[in-house]
C-alpha cells in the first residue's frame, strides 16, 4: 500500500525527471546574452555622435564666420611705410556658386564683422567663384564692405578660371600623380609611356608613392568646365577692385608697393614681371592665391605675402591636422594663419567658402592686419 507521502515522493521524482533543475549561469554566459544589446547601444551612440558631428560640419561651422586680427612689424628697415601703419582687410576663397541661402547668410555675417571698420586696403586673394552662377553674390559681398581709403586689390584663383568635379577626384589625382612622375604624363588611354618600368614591383612601389602623395595633402578635383574670368574681372573692376595680374602698384601717399601674380596652377604667374619697376628696399606686399609662390626666390623680396587656397584644410582631423591643404611648400601646421620665411611674413587665409560644403575645425573668417614699420635694429613681429 502506498502512503500519501510515498505518492508525493513519486510525483516529485516524476516532475524532476520531466523538468530538470535549472543550472546557474556562468559570468561568460551572462555576458554572451548581454553582448548584443551593449554592442547595439554602442553603435547607436557612435551613429548619434557621427550625425551630430556631420550636422555641425555641414550646417553650423561653414556659417560661423570669425574675425581675426593680427599686428605685424616689418622685419627689415624699409623707409616709406606710414608710421601709424596700414590697416588691411584680407578676404579669400569665397567660392560663391549661387547658393543664395548659404551665401546670403555669409554676406550678412561679413557685413556685421566689418561694419564701422576703418581700412586702408581691401585685399582678396582669389577664388571669388566656384562657378559663374556665384557672380551676383560676389558683387553683393563687395558692395557690403567698408570702402578702403587707398584702394581694393585682388589676384585670381584657380576656381576663377575653371570649375571642378570632386566625384572623379581620386582617378584624376592618380593621373596628375602619374603625369608628375613621368614628366609628360601617361600614354594613350592611360598606358605608360614607352620606356617606363611597368613591372609588378614597380607598380607596388608606385602605389606606395601615390599613398604618400595623398598623405602629403593632395586630392585634385577634375576640371570639367571654364568660368568667364574676363567677365569676373570686368564686373569687379566696375566696383573699384583692381586686379594685379603679374604687375605692381604704388600706394598713393606712401612708398609701399603691392605686387600680384596670376594663379600658380591655372594662370601664368610671372614674379619677375610683377616685381619689375619695384625699387629694391621698398616695403612690399605680395598677393598670391596659392602659397606655393614661396618656392620662388623672388618671393623673398616681399615683406608680407598674403594668400589663400588651402581653406585651412577645411576639415581638421585629431592627431593628423588639416586633411588636405593643397600646398607643396607648407607643413600642415602652416595651412592657415601666420608663418614666416626669413624676413618675410606669410599669412594664409582659410577663406569664406568651401570646395565641398563642410568645415570642421577650420571655420571661415575675415582678417584685419595692421602692418607697421620695423623697430629700429630689431627683428621682431607682434601678432594678436
Give the tens place of pLDDT for each residue, 165-190: 777 777 777 777 777 777 643 332 33
3-class SS string, 134-146: HHHHHHHHHHCCC
**179 touches 186 (CB < 8 A):** yes
Q: Where in the chain is the domain with CATH 3.60.21.10?
A: 64-166+222-372
Range 105-110 average pLDDT: 96
**Cβ neighbours around 317 below 10 Å, total:** 12
Give the tens place of pLDDT for each residue, 60-106: 999 999 999 999 999 999 999 999 999 999 999 999 999 999 999 99
Reading the block at residue 13, the C-alpha cell is 521524482
Q: Report the pLDDT value the prediction gives residue 44, as an integer from 0 to 100.
A: 58
Q: Report the pLDDT value the prediction gives residue 138, as an integer from 0 to 100.
A: 98
Rounded-to-integer distance, Cα 111 and Cα 97, Å: 19
| Of the candidates 271, 243, 261, 264, the residue with the CA atom closest to the CA atom of residue 326 | 264
Give the tens place of pLDDT for each residue, 228-241: 999 999 999 999 99
Look up the CATH superfamily of 64-166+222-372: Metallo-dependent phosphatases (3.60.21.10)
pLDDT at 380 over 60: no
Q: Report the pLDDT value the prediction gives residue 215, as an integer from 0 to 100.
A: 63
Reading the block at residue 30, the C-alpha cell is 551572462
First to last CA, the chain: 106
> Sheet containing 121-124: which strands, arranged edge to edge?
66-73, 365-372, 86-91, 121-124, 151-154, 241-243
Amino acid at each position: 500500500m502506498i502512503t500519501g507521502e510515498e505518492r508525493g515522493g513519486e510525483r516529485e521524482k516524476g516532475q524532476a525527471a520531466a523538468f530538470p533543475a535549472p543550472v546557474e549561469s556562468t559570468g561568460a554566459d551572462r555576458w554572451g546574452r548581454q553582448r548584443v544589446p551593449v554592442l547595439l547601444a554602442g553603435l547607436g551612440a557612435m551613429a548619434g555622435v557621427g550625425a551630430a558631428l556631420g550636422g555641425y560640419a555641414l550646417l553650423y561651422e561653414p556659417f560661423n564666420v570669425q574675425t581675426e586680427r593680427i599686428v605685424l612689424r616689418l622685419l627689415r628697415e624699409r623707409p616709406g611705410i606710414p608710421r601709424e601703419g596700414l590697416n588691411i582687410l584680407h578676404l579669400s576663397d569665397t567660392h560663391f556658386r549661387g547658393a543664395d541661402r548659404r551665401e546670403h547668410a555669409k554676406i550678412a555675417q561679413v557685413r556685421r564683422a566689418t561694419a564701422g571698420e576703418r581700412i586702408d586696403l581691401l585685399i582678396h586673394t582669389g577664388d571669388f567663384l566656384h562657378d559663374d552662377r556665384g557672380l551676383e553674390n560676389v558683387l553683393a559681398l563687395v558692395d557690403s564692405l567698408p570702402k578702403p581709403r587707398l584702394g581694393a586689390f585682388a589676384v585670381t584663383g584657380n576656381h576663377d578660371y575653371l570649375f571642378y568635379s570632386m566625384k572623379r577626384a581620386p582617378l584624376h589625382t592618380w593621373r596628375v600623380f602619374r603625369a608628375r612622375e613621368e614628366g609628360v604624363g601617361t600614354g594613350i588611354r592611360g598606358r605608360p609611356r614607352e620606356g617606363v618600368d611597368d613591372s609588378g614591383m614597380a607598380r607596388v612601389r608606385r602605389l606606395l608613392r601615390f599613398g604618400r602623395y595623398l598623405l602629403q595633402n593632395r586630392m585634385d578635383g577634375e576640371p570639367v568646365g571654364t568660368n568667364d574670368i574676363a567677365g569676373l574681372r570686368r564686373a569687379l573692376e566696375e566696383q573699384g577692385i583692381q586686379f594685379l595680374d603679374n604687375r605692381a602698384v604704388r600706394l598713393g601717399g606712401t612708398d609701399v608697393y603691392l605686387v600680384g601674380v596670376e594663379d600658380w596652377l591655372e594662370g601664368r604667374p610671372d614674379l619677375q614681371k610683377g616685381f619689375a619697376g619695384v625699387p629694391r628696399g621698398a616695403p612690399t606686399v605680395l598677393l598670391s592665391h596659392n602659397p606655393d609662390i614661396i618656392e620662388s626666390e623672388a618671393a623673398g623680396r616681399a615683406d608680407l605675402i598674403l594668400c589663400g587656397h588651402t581653406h585651412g584644410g577645411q576639415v581638421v582631423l585629431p592627431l593628423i591636422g588639416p586633411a588636405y591643404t593643397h600646398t607643396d611648400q607648407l607643413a600642415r601646421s602652416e595651412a592657415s594663419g601666420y608663418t614666416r620665411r626669413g624676413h618675410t611674413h606669410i599669412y594664409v587665409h582659410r577663406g569664406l567658402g568651401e570646395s565641398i560644403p563642410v568645415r570642421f575645425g577650420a571655420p571661415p573668417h575675415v582678417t584685419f592686419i595692421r602692418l607697421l614699420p620695423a623697430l629700429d635694429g630689431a627683428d621682431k613681429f607682434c601678432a594678436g
